[in-house]
Structure formats: structure tokens, C-alpha cells
Amino acid sequence: MENPIRGHCHCQKIKFEITPPTEFCSHCHCESCRRTHGAAFVTWTSVPEAQLRITQGKELIKKYESSPGIFWMNCSHCMSPLFQTTHPAKGRIYITVASLIDKLDREPDSHVSFEEHVDWFKVNDGLPQYRDKASDRMN
């Protein structure tokens, strides 16, 4: 059994642990991720829901449903974006890698929804860049 990977929001009222193995890690450049985080892109990982344990502050998680079945979950106190669930990926939870404090069990391996990337941040890390979700490679 591997050690859990710990994370928390900025104010530390919400703490959580994910149990490896995670399922993927990539940088998402879609407009939804950018706007909900106020960032050029968002780095995500995911696990089956049973591998996420909220160890503190579960009652403080605020859900925003951006379209039917797509929920973004933030700390209602400090507003940090922590998790996302989508209807097509039922039973899976996405976690913002930036909210982790322990090292993830994998490195980011791709850029997804790269067709929506901003032109004011230059990506030159050599990782594959995909249109939409890891199907149609652009570089």
C-alpha cells in the first residue's frame, strides 16, 4: 500500500488525501478551466472517488454546476479550486495538482484542449499537445 498523497486548500480548512495510483496527469488549457481558476491552464490528476478521502472540512466544499452534471468544487472560505466531477466520467474525481503538498505518483505527460490555449503564455516543454482530450495531437 503506497502512502496517501495529501493536499489542502489555501486556508487549510479543507484537507484531503488521495490514494495512488492516480489515473493521469495533464495540463488543461480549456476556457472553462482557465476561467474557473484565473490561470493560463490547470494541471489535473484523477482517481476513482473511493481513492479520495476528505480528512477535514468536508462541509466547507462549495459546488458550482457549470452545466448539467459538471461540478467544480472549491473551498467556500478561501475559494481555492480543489476538485471537479463530470457526468461522462461518473465515479471519477479530478483533483487540482496545485493543491497537493506531497509529490504526485506521476509527472504531467501532455497538454489537452490545447486548441483553446492563450497566446500570452509560451509552452515549450516538449510534451504532446492535444486538441480536446488526448486524441488529436497538434504538435
Residues in contact with Zn ion by CB under 5 A are 9, 11, 13, 28, 30, 33, 75, 77-78
Cell triple for 72: 467544480
| CB closer to Zn ion, 3 vs 109 | 109
> Nearest distance from residue 2's CB to Zn ion, in Å?
26
| CB closer to Zn ion, 66 vs 139 | 66
> Nearest distance from residue 55's CB to Zn ion, in Å?
14
| CB closer to Zn ion, 13 vs 106 | 13
> Nearest distance from residue 14's CB to Zn ion, in Å?
5
> Nearest distance from residue 1's CB to Zn ion, in Å?
29
| CB closer to Zn ion, 2 vs 68 | 68
- Cα–Cα nearest to 96, from 48, 4, 28: 28
